[in-house]
Amino acid sequence: AQKITQTQPGMFVQEKEAVTLDCTYDTSDQSYGLFWYKQPSSGEMIFLIYQGSYDEQNATEGRYSLNFQKARKSANLVISASQLGDSAMYFCAMREVVTGGGNKLTFGTGTQLKVEL
Amino acid sequence: DTGVSQNPRHKITKRGQNVTFRCDPISEHNRLYWYRQTLGQGPEFLTYFQNEAQLEKSRLLSDRFSAERPKGSFSTLEIQRTEQGDSAMYLCASSLGSSTGELFFGEGSRLTVL
């Protein structure tokens, strides 16, 4: 069974600073994928970044980067130059490919990020 | 707006009543998913469709829950004889068969069972 652990219930960061949100995972699969999603108060889950287990480079998407350490089974999200609009809940998720090629995601419990002036 | 659309956004019902939620996925997406999210938790997988075929169901989906996707377009999630424990946000997502296959979520339907 897959498991995602996010140990930081809440984080504070000052505007324009960088912040790291932690995520560790457990799986017996050799091939897997890791996602980060942002959930603002409106409720919609917004896809941020993806890392495949065989990807040699750490994923980056604009101000988001994923610090992937396979041996340690960690996939931490780094947000650079934080903005007030980054205040939201952040979820780490792992995919299991199911029948027909669909992605069944297992989510962590999330980290509530608050960006302060 | 061409994102995933869900309605109603909020539903308050009395215990024992039936409720139905609708999801309209992004038009070219052939895969559709339902998740449930309770307060303070991440979303939990409920079920998955590829086109009109329901290919995966979680054991969380009791026999009071039924989901359909007729014609492979919109989907409905019905909960019969609601219980207070069904109170949650029900999220719908859709995806293409891309290499990453990221899911695009709607804003959810919040159910409150009194």
Q: Does B62 have pLDDT greater than 70?
A: yes
Q: Does A68 have pLDDT greater than 90?
A: yes
State whether A45 and B56 contact (CB < 8 Å): no
Residue A110: C-alpha distances to residues A4, B19, B85, B87 (Å): 10, 28, 21, 20
Distance in Å, alpha carbon of A116 to nearest chain B alpha carbon = 22
State whether A100 and B53 contact (CB < 8 Å): yes
**Is the sign of the CA dihedral B92, B95, B101, B103 positive or negative?**
negative
Q: Please name the member of B41, B50, B105 whose beta carbon is closest to the beta carbon of A100.
A: B50
What are the residues facing A36 on neighbouring strands? A49, A92
Cα A74 from Cα A51, distance rounded (Å): 11
> Which residues of chain A have a CB within 8 Å of the CB of B108?
43-44
- Encoded tokens for A42: 């409106």
Which is higher by pLDDT, B36 or A101? B36
Residue A64: C-alpha distances to residues A15, A19, A61, A76 (Å): 15, 10, 5, 10
Query: How many contacts does A have with B, using Cβ atoms within 8 A?
Result: 78
Q: Please name the member of B41, B45, B108 whose beta carbon is closest to the beta carbon of A104.
A: B45
Q: Please name the member of A37, A50, A102 whose beta carbon is closest to the beta carbon of B55.
A: A102
State whether B101 and A95 contact (CB < 8 Å): yes
Q: Read off the amino acid at residue A69.
A: Q
Closest CA to B47 of B20, B27, B67: B67
DSSP string, B73-84: S-EEEEE-S--G
Strand B10-13 with B109-113, pairing: parallel
Chain B interface, best mutation among A21, A31, A45, by max B CB count within 10 A: A45
Which is higher by pLDDT, A57 or B2? A57
* Per-residue pLDDT tens over the stretch A36-48: 999 999 888 999 9
Map tokens 């990221």 to a residue: B102
Q: Does B1 have pLDDT greater than 60?
A: no
Asked if A66 contacts A55 with a C-beta cutoff of 8 angstroms, the reply is no
